[in-house]
Amino acid sequence: MTSRQSLGAVRSSFAPWADPTATPLVRFEAVTKRFGAETAVKSVSLDIYEREFFALLGPSGCGKTTLMRMLAGFETPDEGRVTLEGQDLAGLPPHQRPLHMMFQSYALFPHLSVERNIAFGLQRQGLAKAEISDRVAEMLALVRLEGLARRKPDQLSGGQRQRVALARALAPRPKVLLLDEPLGALDRKLREETQFELMALQQRLGMTFLVVTHDQEEAMVMADRIAVMRAGEIVQTGPPPEVYEAPNCRYVADFIGEVNLFEGQVETADGRLVRLSSPVCPQGLEAAEDDPLPKSAAAWFAVRPEKMVLHPTPPPPGPNLMQGKVADIGYLGDWTTYVVEVAGGQTVRAARANAARVVENPVDWGDTVWLTFARDAAVVLSR
């Protein structure tokens, strides 16, 4: 890659994790948590920096919520330690930690009005009445709920409740805001809007957000960095473009977005180019890769559907070319996904943007088509 090039389509200058002199705000140091015989979190180490929007991403039961609850103080690590601004949090009960959490169920107190819900944490801090009402008004304005101060939670819509929960957790000005599946209960349209609202809010307040989610799209859109978790361990940590374009294993490649995995044996790997022999492609598969791989080891090429090129007529022969029959077509409006069955019975997905309204050579079910991908479109994975 040249300096003009970068992974993904985004350029960001905010990258404290790349700065060796920066000190993290939150540190998990080899933290392990067991529930009975089950290990929910296995020796996880993680740094989160000030003003960062950090996402813990993984399927349900992967330990991401347990990790967050250890930071909030609702679970105690069995091994390792959690620090905030360099201070060990061990032994500090939840109510003494300067972190606040937005619960998945929102956990709004049903017997209190919106404003008293928001004031709850401020009252516990022992602020003066006038200050509390100022802060509540400020928070209501921040989440645009000015008119609803006296409503009870059960008189609000799902989106409004979510904003009250947010305001309540923000009001006492936590050092880190923890969000447990913040958008999980919202419908699709509202979820998309709220994603951007949360990002804008985090930017405006200059706060550190830690969000737990199982929704990869949510994590991709909002987070500065994502930690992908699996069975209690962090598999990969990095900014969204890196996690998407340079996954470090098949699990991450498959979990985030859609991916075609081509398995093969390494024929040559000279530090610039990797060649695989694979049943799907008679001329072999080739990809650009800096790291050399041992000969005849098993390896996988991961290629995203949008990086597969679909040809209705045969292109000139060469590597990365496969022939197959269209097994399925999914028309999504903006995109069309073609599922193509290639040699060896593997199905390959290719996505094409519907850039034009009228298509010259439409592809039908059962048509013979050819697929190719560029050398730098594939990620070489060894695990």
- Residue 23 touches another protein, criterion: CB under 8 A: no
Show the tokens assigned to 234: 């962090």
Instruction: Give the shortest CB-176-to-another protein separation in angstroms.
Output: 12
Binning the chain into helix, strand and coil, the percentages to the nearest 5 are 25, 35, 40
In whole angstroms, how large is the CA radius of gyration of the chain? 25
Please report where in the chains the tokens 């290719």 appear, as a residue.
350
Binding residue for another protein (CB under 8 A) from 9, 11, 91, 95? Answer: 95
**Which among 174, 173, 156 has a CA at the least distance from the CA of 164?**
156
Task: Give, as ranges, the residues between 53 and 72 that touch another protein (CB under 8 A).
Answer: 72
Q: In this complex, which beta carbon is closest to another protein, that of residue 35 or of residue 335?
A: 35
Residues whose CB falls within 8 Å of the CB of residue 311, separated by 6 or more in sequence, listed in order: 369, 370, 371, 372
Q: If 0-12 CB within 10 Å is exposed, 13-18 middle and 19+ buried, where does residue 311 land? A: middle
CA distance 227 to 255: 12
Task: Give, as ranges, the residues between 135 and 154 that touch another protein (CB under 8 A).
Answer: 152, 154
Count interface residues toward another protein (CB under 8 A). Answer: 29
Show the tokens assigned to 66: 């347990």
CB atoms within 10 A of CB 21: 5
Binding residue for another protein (CB under 8 A) from 20, 86, 93, 317? Answer: 93
- Residue 168 touches another protein, criterion: CB under 8 A: yes
| From 93-101, 301-309, 349-357, 359-367, span contacting another protein (CB under 8 A) | 93-101
Instruction: Give the shortest CB-186-to-another protein separation in angstroms.
Output: 17
Q: In this complex, which beta carbon is closest to another protein, that of residue 155 or of residue 347?
A: 155
Residue 321: strand, helix, or coil: strand
Q: In this complex, which beta carbon is closest to another protein, that of residue 151 or of residue 375?
A: 151
Task: Give, as ranges, the residues between 98 and 137 that touch another protein (CB under 8 A).
Answer: 99-101, 103-105, 107-111, 120-121, 124-125
Q: In this complex, which beta carbon is closest to another protein, that of residue 23 or of residue 105?
A: 105
CA distance 269 to 295: 7
Chain residues binding another protein by CB under 8 A are 72-74, 93-97, 99-101, 103-105, 107-111, 120-121, 124-125, 152, 154-155, 168-169, 172
